[in-house]
């Protein structure tokens, strides 16, 4: 039975408890210090602040398997303001680009539907990184392998929920069976629409369905998610066909170049004799 998560971004408060819980459970190293000493400056200087609201994580990475996005929306008159939050992670796609791309079977799907990088098998070829349409998977210079969220593989195979869902104080991140989560998501969507709010579910159709799906209050692009994600391997057949046709074309060009001249030469020789 497939398990997953439903992230209701409309009740997220941006507390980052999920980020901290993820790091603690999975033993991921901390962020680099945001302040450092600079020669000649008597006070600590902020050297890696993003300047993007409260977000200094920036992106998902080999040590940040969860990333809370802060989106400040202010209209031109500066009267209407809205602060959106979204806790992002691996979507554990039903048709996963990273898993399709992996040449060593290092990336596998478990019986619970989550997609995991087997660290002892990964060779660090990095092909999975651009194969993810969500920019989730990252390379670690420290281990020489690819890393991403495992949906707390160890916890969920021992009857526990994910660390982030457990730590979430508002119930924004819910872990459970996909069918139950979808019922909950549909009910919440209907409730919001009933109140006249704009909301949409992200992850029902994308990549044959995402095991981690979202309720957004705006377009996916606003949350940094692709509007129309494509599993890259779906281009494989067309790309291969065009390449094969080109190979045939080059072969034909070679055949004409080599054959014609050869025949011409033979004819000349016959004529001379």
Partner 1 sequence: MSPEIIQPPEWAWYYIAVYFFVAGTSAGAYFIGAMEELFGSGREREVSRAACYIAFPLLILVPIPLIADLGRPERFWHLFIYNQGGYPYLNLISPMSVGSWVLLIFSVCTLLSFLDNLVADRVISFPLFSRYYNRIPRRLYAVFGSLAGFFIAGYTGVLLNVTASPFWAATSPFMGALFIVSGASTGAAAISLYLIWRRRNSGGEVERLEAFDRVVMVSELVLIALLLILAGRTALPLMTLPFVAMFWLGTVALGIVAPLWFKYRFRRHPFGDAPVLAHYLCILAGGLLLRISLLQAGQL
Contact residues: partner 1, CB under 8 A: 59, 97, 100-106, 118, 120-127, 129-135, 137-141, 143-146, 220-221, 224-230, 232-233, 235-236, 238-247, 249-251, 253-255, 257-259, 261-262, 265-266
Cβ closest to partner 1, residue 111 vs residue 120 = 120
CB of 17 or CB of 132, closer to partner 1: 132
As measured in angstroms, the least distance from the Cβ of 37 to partner 1 is: 29
* Rounded Cα distance, 4 and 93, in Å: 10
* Phi/psi of residue 215, nearest 5 degrees: -110, 115
Q: How far is the CB of 89 from partner 1 (least distance, A)?
A: 13
C-alpha 152/C-alpha 157 separation (Å) is: 9
Nearer to partner 1, 80 or 228 (CB): 228
To partner 1, the closest distance from the beta carbon of 28 in angstroms equals 17
DSSP-derived letter for residue 201 is E
258 CB neighbour count, 10 Å cutoff: 10
List CB contacts of 38: < 8 A, sequence separation 6 or more: 45, 47
Rounded distance between C-alpha atoms, residue 160 and residue 152, angstroms: 9
- Is the CB of residue 11 less than 8 Å from the CB of residue 192? no
Structure tokens at 272: 């001379």
Task: Give counts: helices (H), strands (E), the chain.
Answer: 7, 12
User: Which of 126, 166 has the CB closer to partner 1?
Assistant: 126
Q: What is the closest distance, in whole angstroms, from the C-beta atom of residue 35 to partner 1 in the complex?
A: 27
| Least distance (Å) between residue 48 CB and partner 1 | 18
Nearest to 140 by CA among 60, 66, 212, 224: 60
Nearer Cβ to partner 1, position 179 or 239? 239
Quick one: the chain helix, strand, coil %, rounded to 5?
A: 35, 20, 45
Residue reference for tokens 């050869």: 262
Q: Which is nearer to partner 1, 180 or 266 (CB)?
A: 266
CB nearer to partner 1: give 46 or 236. Answer: 236
Rounded to the nearest whole angstrom, what is the least distance from the CB of residue 2 to partner 1 in the complex? 21
> Does residue 178 sit in helix, strand or coil?
helix
Determine the Cα–Cα distance for residues 101 and 122; give it in Å rounded to an integer. Answer: 12
């Amino acid at each position: 039975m497939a398990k997953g998560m439903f992230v209701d971004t409309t009740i997220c408060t941006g507390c980052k408890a999920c980020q901290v819980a993820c790091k603690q459970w999975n033993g991921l190293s901390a962020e680099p210090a945001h302040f450092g000493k600079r020669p000649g400056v008597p006070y600590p200087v902020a050297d890696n602040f993003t300047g993007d609201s409260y977000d200094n994580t920036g992106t998902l990475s080999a040590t940040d398997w969860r990333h809370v996005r802060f989106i400040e929306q202010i209209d031109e008159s500066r009267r209407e303001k809205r602060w959106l939050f979204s806790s992002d992670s691996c979507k554990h796609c039903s048709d996963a680009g990273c898993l399709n791309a992996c040449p060593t079977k290092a990336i596998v799907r478990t019986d619970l539907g989550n997609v995991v990088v087997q660290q002892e098998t990964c060779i660090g070829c990095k092909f999975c990184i651009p194969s993810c349409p969500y920019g989730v998977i990252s390379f670690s210079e420290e281990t020489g392998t690819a890393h991403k969220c495992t949906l707390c593989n160890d916890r969920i195979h021992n009857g526990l929920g994910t660390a982030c869902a457990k730590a979430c104080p508002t119930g924004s991140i819910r872990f459970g069976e996909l069918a139950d989560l979808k019922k909950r998501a549909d009910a919440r969507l209907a409730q919001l629409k009933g109140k006249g709010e704009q909301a949409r579910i992200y992850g029902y159709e994308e990549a044959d369905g995402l095991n981690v799906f979202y309720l957004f209050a705006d377009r996916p692009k606003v949350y940094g998610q692709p509007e129309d994600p494509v599993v890259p391997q779906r281009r494989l057949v067309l790309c291969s066909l065009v390449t094969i046709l080109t190979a045939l074309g080059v072969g034909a060009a070679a055949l004409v170049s080599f054959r014609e001249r050869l025949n011409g030469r033979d004819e000349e020789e016959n004529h001379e004799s």
